[in-house]
Amino acid sequence: MTADLHSHTHYSDGILSPEEVVRLASERGVPILSITDHDTMEGIPAAIEAGKKLGIRVIPGVELTAHFHEQEVHILGYFADDGRWKEGEFQKLLRSSKKVRLERCKKMVIRLQEAGLKIGFEDVMKLGAKGSLGRPHVARALLAAGQIQTFDEAFIRFLSRGKPAWVDKARVASEEAIRLIHGARGLAILAHPGLLKGERIPAELLDQGLDGIEVYHTRHDSRLSSRYLRWAGEHHILSTGGSDCHGNAGDDATLGNTRIEGPLLENFLRRLG
């Protein structure tokens, strides 16, 4: 058995629908898959349904935008497939995050208009942005409206920090993210520590109740993964891994390119319940 525990759908910044991600898992021989959209679980029910038809186990997941002191950290939440994740305080966070992201998106569009670009908020909505809106949706709308030539140009000229249409994002404190995930009986895992400043894991997250770290990730090389695997072992926490597939063609982060198996996967599934 192998599992890819990190993927995105068009409910956040991915390209594919939940059904398409599950079909891709089936085509690529990934029997266990987690969908971990940014700050939303709206894609989970459809993915589970599709998984039942194709014989793929879909683990309900989420990637929460959090902060540890000044630094943005992403906390993955994984839940048992018993529907309990749909209840409680944790869902309140997701609902509020959706609203805040929508308002942020409107602000970005207004700033773009002030910068002279011809784009309306309806252009962003028209492109089928569903759950969790972000800068990629604005970038796609700018591209579709012919206001820029490439997707990246949106970030380089307008959407990155310090650029004219930059609007900062809401982040929940890591401690709160972990608490809310635990409240929904989930496991809280630090996503891609290799993307953090100095590739360093804030050890204080362990005191906050972190259950594990994402040891294997598309953007971790083998040296980094070995280091994280050792670290997780020393601290007796879970080691997970996943591709972080967003469905982009030609991307290294293709579904199933990063997986876990064997004892790491068994431990994870046992703790998941």
Residues that bind Zn ion (CB under 5 A): 63, 244
The nearest distance, CB 206 to ligand AMP, in angstroms, is: 26
| Contact by Cβ (8 Å): 67, 73 | yes
Binding partner at 11 among ligand AMP, Fe ion, Zn ion, none, C-beta below 5 to 8 Å by kind: none
Contact pattern for ligand AMP over residues 183 through 222, marking x by CB under 6 A: ----------------------------------------
Query: Is residue 131 a contact point for ligand AMP (CB under 6 A)?
Result: no
C-alpha dist (Å) from residue 265 to 36, 78, 105, 169:
17, 13, 38, 33
Q: Which residues bind Fe ion (CB under 5 A)?
A: 13, 74, 191
Nearer to ligand AMP, 171 or 259 (CB): 171
The label of the residue with tokens 């252009």 reads 123
| Residue 63 touching ligand AMP (CB under 6 A) | no
The whole-angstrom separation of Cα 181 and Cα 166 is 29
Contact present, 74 and 63 (Cβ < 8 Å) = yes
Closer CB to Fe ion, 63 or 123, in the complex: 63
Q: Could you tell me the smallest distance in angstroms from the CB atom of residue 75 to Zn ion?
A: 11
**Alpha helices (runs of H) in the chain, residue ranges in sequence order:** 18-27, 44-54, 89-114, 121-126, 135-144, 151-154, 174-183, 204-207, 222-234, 262-272
Position 135 contacts ligand AMP (CB under 6 A):
yes
Measuring CA to CA, which residue among 16, 45, 63 is closest to residue 186?
Answer: 63
Q: Under the criterion CB under 6 A, does residue 244 sit at the interface with ligand AMP? A: no
